Amino acid sequence: MKLQLVSDRTQNIRASVSDTQSELMLAIALVVMIIYLFLRNIPATIIPAVAVPLSLIGTFAVIYMLGFSVNNLTLMALTIATGFVVDDAIVVIENISRHIENGLSPLQAALKGASEIGFTIISLTISLIAVLIRCYLWGMWSAACSVNLQ
């Protein structure tokens, strides 16, 4: 018996994973630049600049501990989740900044700002998850149909 390699997709897969990793890094850099551009506040910019990479490191630790592999799907999910985190953080920081400009102390502004929009942030996140779960399930359904058709 002789084994012969028919096709080798490892180079394409590695290139795709590398592209997704670079897109994730570009997304983080753009987030930091855009937050600074709109808020013009260094401390408000530092918060997501530190929080996003730390949350990604924690996520990779959980992925490793659960035995999952890092592939295109997990990297794209991380990119989307990063967008969720940043979107929620921008809304909260903007509301807190508004309260600080109105004369509240940073602690009072943080407590009041977060309590005012906490429900909105949770509702927004749940609605985005509901939309993306439908897309995920649609992908699973279409994959199952295409497998059955072959």
Instruction: Residue 129: name the closest of 71, 87, 67 by CA.
Output: 87
Answer yes or no: is 69 within a domain. yes
Higher pLDDT, 132 or 36: 36
Answer yes or no: is 57 within a domain. yes
Answer yes or no: is 4 within a domain. no
DSSP assignment, residue 130?
A: H
Question: Which structure tokens are listed for 31?
Answer: 């987030």
Answer yes or no: is 112 within a domain. yes
Give per-residue pLDDT as tens, 129-144. 888 777 767 665 555 5
Answer yes or no: is 5 within a domain. no
Q: What CATH number did the domain enclosing 79 receive? A: 1.20.1640.10
Answer yes or no: is 1 within a domain. no
Domain, as residue range, for 82: 10-149
Answer yes or no: is 52 within a domain. yes
**Residue 129 confidence (pLDDT):** 81
Structurally, the chain folds into a number of domains equal to 1
Give per-residue pLDDT as tens, 76-132. 778 788 778 777 887 888 898 899 999 999 899 999 999 999 898 888 888 888 887
Distance between start and end Cα atoms, the chain? 28
What predicted TM-score, i.e. pTM, was given to this entire model? Answer: 0.62
